[in-house]
Structure 1
């Protein structure tokens, strides 16, 4: 059941004609998209839905930027545009998705035991123009929230039908080119939808990115707003050359430019093919939803972050591989009931996800040629989940819910690297149960106060749960727990005097049992300690005239390891997000649509002592569309409008360049900031022809 729809379901179960907009496939319903959370219907202050017209108007450098529609989320990049974004939220540097769960059309995007990083969430297969809505929740407070959702989750749904077929051609700075053709056809209660996307891009880099991307979607849906089904096929493929983060000293000395590379052979290729189906029934006996999916995934990535530190002769480039099939099914049912004479809704569900990973590997390479196998494994894992949640309306002012979720993981790792592979093989299982709780109080019609608490989890890479030996050194290695618990709580407030103005405030805390993780870049585990994060978030949505809308988001976070710090370390969680501010101004009137979007990412500790801090970054984007007539629409996007020279990402660690090796000045590595710069000001023009 959609987690923003308790009120819709409740009304339907009492005999009203309320309809779930986001689950119907009919054009006049689907095009609307989900409604935002509101007083009397929301379960927390930090949940909501972003309406289509507001996020579609935003200019986007990459498809994954769409998750910045979630207040407090920052999506950046530290490599090529074929690689998953780097995400930040609620005091987390989420890497490529750990602790931020993303689904597209009910299919999970995050990948456990991934070749590059746990929870890897690559959204480059997304076609933003097809997204009907972005629904989000934060914190481990809801029984429906699954693996990787400790910090938050975002659910993206595709339309079942479009207003009209169209072809759009875009071109811009740095040899950017894009072609998108999409359309749908409805006859009676049957709809076909299709879309094809082709993109090329070199980026501003001295070594051209040479991104080549092909994407396609085909969907068939049938039924009515109360009962129906859909079948969707997706296919995506891309390859690219990447400029990874580089040491600042190489830029400051003039060895390379700001957009230069120390290894022109870095890059990768990936592909994803999926088939999924959904069925729903909304009748007098409740709300039932069933879905299933099958995904075939391929991934090769060549990276080099330390250059010649570990191998002064051949360099430190490495390849990460992933070949897997993912299968899954899930079902949910919700029905109105009575608890002690009080009206309520009981919802329950079950989920299964199975990953059959034929190859997940790490190899030492030089210019994309393999030298040695560090790890090469075959992995099989299954996650079984059940949950139940009871919502009760005590009176016109008070309502609440309690829930319980259980997850059981079963896994097997078979090492194929001949030396240490057998030692690091194994199988096991783990299980975890997490309670959930929420309470809402409406003192007056325009105010609502919330309290939420609960426990959640994220899974660790199961290769770390079976490891015994460091494959690089042969030394003993620590194992990680397969499932890691987190506990959180939140107090929130929502003010909504009318449909045009809404503001929220949330004070939250999250405790994580362990941050010990398996490091895909090294093939072994990295030490970590229990941590505590807390913060304050605020949002404002104000449609102050029929044409104008203002959005303001602010988030402050504090992340610390718990307990005594080891010698030479502190308690700061390195690279943890501390301050984010975003502002958006949107104008929609007649043939004109315009959007101005500002994002500020504050400085953060780059080491556990807070002795080195990142610089802040400010990004300003502008987009405009003008409908010349019913057929032709012109578009203009100016990304990084102010031409700021900020960094998308900063790390602090030791590396060694070829010049430092030959000059014998490496001395075990030079500690330095390693940065990936924001792209400079770029302009993109588009023409859309609607049939």
Structure 2
């Protein structure tokens, strides 16, 4: 959830390092194959993936085609990331809020350490009001996705902030085969309407448009009343590697949330004389509103030996989020609280513990890259250099609220934040069985914080970090490749922590945090297609952070913690025994621990770091007019406290999709989520809370249940 970083002092050294001939990481996945990669492309595996031998620099890197995305159901837009092997996506509050993500032994909270882009736009928000790296994918329209290019680990020079555990680039289509209208009806008030189409405007110009409207109440006792409006408009010209596009996107949403609830009330079955269950709420006014609007453009030009890409974007974003995770910890009418350690702040009795996190920002960015194919002596080589720039201007605050009305200010800040990244990478084929990818990346972050609530926390900070990268690829032998990857990555910290001198609630002195926190990673991997129709990969990995980000339940936020070390094993399989049958099996095991001194004697377990995840899916595609998919999804147990005395329960769910083509351009699809109606949880935490009438805070398990069996029926008409 939370992370830290070692720092370098050498952004200025990057130009010199960039000139070294062996700096390298292959061209970014969407680019055309380089001469080095093309020489290794001896095997093409038919299916929904572009992960054949010779196409990647790591066993845990790959691409997913849109054909697979159509075959499985997704309860929420963000669950499209579950197609990335080893990723699990859940929710611990209302569906208008960013999802909860799990990968490689991380509870990534709402996206920290997993960098995501959609159509070239960054999704993660640094210095966000709710959590560092907040990644809200609710604006995603799955039907427009063309492919997902994913990477895991800090081995790729083009991947910057928040990408230490992994990253995913989600690319939208520029044109559709035919206009479409789609309507979905589901249980508990779910309604969704989508219209999309594209048209040629003359010459090579294409205009694509899509509009989505959705509402949902969910299984909650207090209806979620989720309302979403989403639109995309893209104008493009040219083709593939020689073309351009410009997009306008807008998303708005509002919802009422059911936050996690304490296990003790579920066990009791009653509260204040009324029945109380898993889907009940202790504060019916939590929830929020959000809005995201953007303009972006991209230009690409390629020749036989060069590839150039330019991109720019501007974005306006807002979030008002109201949460209450401790209920009446600080405001019980019968037992006034004196701001004890378990209490975030003393409140007026009867007010409750609701708080608001506000974020309003404008974001501007650009990126450029240039790749050249040449020879290093007699060895074919591709060298790429790139620049990435992002500037955020934001107003961010934390407030005490009652029924969404502000009654007090904890902190209110204006922040200006600029991050610059430069990288260089070189890929060289030394022999028919050995290629190297070596790279270096330099990042600089500058923060300017103006605290409107406490002038002592105003100030400026900056940091810089140099991150070397190395990949070695051996083979193929018998349609099998071996990989070695190593590198340094990082995540940024909240700008407010880099200038803070005093705690905004208590006034006590606090230590500043570094702006950039380094992570070091290493991976050994293999990918094979030795058996016809079966593609398997295995990766043994390790990742160390200089500082871990940990979720604090009673504050609803993340905070820095001790250094950490994770290692694990991933095994991914794609099997096509028949042209119409695909079997996916992804298994991952991880071991996560704090490292170094334990001054408080709390223990070395990292809270909410699950140790096992798995997904097995069987997909039948176009067997006559029928298609179907059955997915088994497993989220393992994890320590909820540092001494491992309390652990989360495992969660096993099964999702089903059955499709029938009624006519050439008409399809009917039935999705069944949680097919066997299992009583499982999306997330569990352990922390103190108090409900009205309790004499003292109670340390307890708090959970947000997964939805019960849910049916949705979709009618699709193409024109």
TM-score range, shorter chain: over 0.9
For 2:449 and 2:363, locate their aligned partners in 1 and report how far apart those are by CA, in whole Å.
16
1:537 to 559, 563, 570: 570
2:138 to 124, 128, 136: 124
* Contact 1:460/1:518 (<8 A) preserved: no
* Contact 1:464/1:525 (<8 A) preserved: no
Deviation at 1:41, TM superposition (A): 2.5
Instruction: Quote the residue 2:74 is aligned against.
Output: 60
Deviation at 1:520, TM superposition (A): 11
Stretch moving more, 292-301 or 562-571: 562-571
Instruction: Quote the residue 2:11 is aligned against.
Output: none
For 2:175 and 2:149, locate their aligned partners in 1 and report how far apart those are by CA, in whole Å.
19
1:257 to 277, 281, 285: 277
Deviation at 1:519, TM superposition (A): 7.2
Deviation at 1:564, TM superposition (A): 2.7
Instruction: Quote the residue 2:360 is aligned against.
Output: 323
Instruction: Quote the residue 2:220 is aligned against.
Output: 205
Stretch moving more, 257-266 or 511-520: 511-520
* Contact 1:190/1:222 (<8 A) preserved: yes
For 1:232 and 1:567, locate their aligned partners in 2 and report how far apart those are by CA, in whole Å.
52
SS state of the match for residue 455, structure 2? coil
For 2:47 and 2:579, locate their aligned partners in 1 and report how far apart those are by CA, in whole Å.
19
1:513 to 542, 546, 559: 546
* Contact 2:208/2:234 (<8 A) preserved: yes
**Structure 2 residues not aligned, in runs of 5+:** 1-25, 333-348
Asked if residue 290 in structure 1 is aligned to residue 310 in structure 2, the reply is yes
TM-score by length of 1: 0.94
Asked if residue 135 in structure 1 is aligned to residue 163 in structure 2, the reply is no
CA RMSD of aligned residues (A): 2.0
Instruction: Quote the residue 1:278 is aligned against.
Output: 298
Instruction: Quote the residue 2:391 is aligned against.
Output: 354
Asked if residue 440 in structure 1 is aligned to residue 476 in structure 2, the reply is no
Instruction: Quote the residue 1:677 is aligned against.
Output: 705
Instruction: Quote the residue 1:632 is aligned against.
Output: 666
Asked if residue 9 in structure 1 is aligned to residue 34 in structure 2, the reply is yes
Q: Give per-residue Cα distances to partners, 1:444-502, cap 9 Å, x unaligned.
A: 13111000000010000010111111111111112211100000000001111377321
SS state of the match for residue 69, structure 2? helix
* Contact 2:37/2:55 (<8 A) preserved: no
Instruction: Quote the residue 1:453 is aligned against.
Output: 486
Stretch moving more, 61-70 or 508-517: 508-517
* Contact 1:480/1:516 (<8 A) preserved: no
Deviation at 1:619, TM superposition (A): 1.0
SS state of the match for residue 456, structure 2? coil
* Contact 1:478/1:525 (<8 A) preserved: no
For 2:669 and 2:144, locate their aligned partners in 1 and report how far apart those are by CA, in whole Å.
17
For 1:12 and 1:526, locate their aligned partners in 2 and report how far apart those are by CA, in whole Å.
42
* Contact 2:151/2:168 (<8 A) preserved: yes
SS state of the match for residue 654, structure 1? strand
Count of aligned positions: 666
2:461 to 420, 428, 444: 428
Change (3 A) 1:329 1:518: farther
For 1:203 and 1:674, locate their aligned partners in 2 and report how far apart those are by CA, in whole Å.
20
Deviation at 1:292, TM superposition (A): 0.5
Instruction: Quote the residue 1:689 is aligned against.
Output: 717
* Contact 1:408/1:429 (<8 A) preserved: yes
For 2:161 and 2:701, locate their aligned partners in 1 and report how far apart those are by CA, in whole Å.
32
Deviation at 1:429, TM superposition (A): 0.8
Q: Give per-residue Cα distances to partners, 1:135-175, cap 9 Å, x unaligned.
A: 10000011111100000001100000111001011101111
2:450 to 414, 435, 440: 414
**Structure 1 residues not aligned, in runs of 5+:** 19-31
SS state of the match for residue 543, structure 1? strand
Greater relative contact order (Cα < 8 A, sep 6+): 2
Change (3 A) 1:494 1:518: closer
For 1:59 and 1:443, locate their aligned partners in 2 and report how far apart those are by CA, in whole Å.
35
Q: Give per-residue Cα distances to partners, 1:592-644, cap 9 Å, x unaligned.
A: 22111111011110000000000000010001221111232111000100100
2:107 to 90, 93, 102: 93
Instruction: Quote the residue 2:245 is aligned against.
Output: 230
Q: Give per-residue Cα distances to partners, 1:214-244, cap 9 Å, x unaligned.
A: 0000000011334210000100001000000
Asked if residue 651 in structure 1 is aligned to residue 685 in structure 2, the reply is yes
Asked if residue 396 in structure 1 is aligned to residue 436 in structure 2, the reply is no
* Contact 2:30/2:149 (<8 A) preserved: no
Q: Give per-residue Cα distances to partners, 1:516-541, cap 9 Å, x unaligned.
A: 67979849983510110000000000
For residues 180-199 of structure 1, the aligned pairs below 5 Å read 180-186=194-200, 187-199=202-214
Instruction: Quote the residue 1:344 is aligned against.
Output: 381
Asked if residue 462 in structure 1 is aligned to residue 499 in structure 2, the reply is no
Change (3 A) 1:129 1:485: same
Asked if residue 266 in structure 1 is aligned to residue 257 in structure 2, the reply is no
